Amino acid sequence: MNELRIIFMGTPDFAVPSLEILIEHKLNVVAVITAPDKPQGRGLKISRSPVKDCAAKHNIPILQPTNLKAPEFLETLKSYNANLQIVVAFRMLPEVVWNMPAFGTLNLHGSLLPQYRGAAPINWAIINGEKETGVTTFFLKHEIDTGSIIFQDVETIKPDDDAGKLHDRLMYRGAELVLKTVKAIEKGDYPSTPQNENVEIKHAPKIFKETCEINWNQTSEQVYNFVRGLSPYPTAWTRINDKVYKIFSVKHGGFMQHKNVGTIETDHKNFLYFRTIDGLVSIEELQPEGKKRMSIKDFFRGNKI
């Protein structure tokens, strides 16, 4: 048995179940590294990361470096004598950090690598209409998301999944996989399989607001997948009469050939349809600028197109 001393690195909600499950199983997490506190919202109230809150609850030492190459941070990191580092939804690490522990640094990724390498694997799997995805643990190396695979677990993408629902299922499935991986390393019996580079690899680049605009010159199925792949965050959007509307949920509105792609049909009470290249898409939930998210019926109670 290997006596593990673990440093855990993560920031958002997605990483919390992985940290919690290690603590629950009495694994030796000697420190947690997370993002610095930052002001958020209109009042610029200082916000702590979910991982920081979790670590504080369990009285685990917390490091919040702004520079991962800073000599003082590296000295502090070395002082913990960790022999395994675990990364879940953190930032890119310099080699001097990921190469420090004897057993290496493992990462949890929200896809079945080598597919969907990149910052937004959950979103892109849905946008591209995939029927399944999963989680992967692998060892970090120079090129992002390319290290040797330890374990994988498959998750079905349901027809009505959006990015939020799939995120939450993968968050807990990933935590179980992290535990399985750490237990295998503890026993000294674990696979380390190079990724298959001889396949066509789909990527999952970071998503920006400008790339979230809906392209109505697509099929209704493509628009449906695009909207749910960006819901509830960062959210697809479109313009109606020069105003921006976030679109959270849509349904198929029927198939037919249309020439006037992007135009709308509505009774100003119960429905709002957009025309795609092969039919209609029904807007179910939206958010006008400066207002809250609402159903289309609630929208028409106080607004008109």
Binding-site members for (6S)-5,6,7,8-tetrahydrofolate are 111-114
- DSSP state string for 155-173: EE--TT--HHHHHHHHHHH
Q: Among 150, 25, 3, 231, which residue's Cα sits nearest to residue 17?
A: 25
Cα–Cα–Cα angle for 244, 221, 232, nearest 5°?
A: 45
Residue with tokens 């027809």: 159
75 in helix, strand or coil? Answer: helix
Residue 255 φ/ψ region, left for φ over 0, alpha for ψ in the -120 to 50 degree band, beta for the rest: beta
Beta strands 84-88; 279-288: pairing state: unpaired
How far, in Å, CA of 117 to CA of 205, rounded? 8
- Give the integer Cα–Cα distance in Å for 40 and 34: 17
Which residues are documented as binding site? 111-114
**Class of residue 132 by CB neighbours under 10 A (exposed 0-12, middle 13-18, buried 19+):** exposed
Strand boundaries in the chain, DSSP class E: 6-10, 29-33, 38-40, 45-47, 62-63, 84-88, 105-109, 132-139, 149-156, 236-240, 243-255, 264-266, 272-275, 279-288, 294-295
CB 117 within 8 A of CB 201: yes
How far is residue 125's CA from residue 121's CA, in Å, rounded to a whole number? Answer: 6
Burial of 260 per CB tally in 10 Å (0-12, 13-18, 19+): exposed
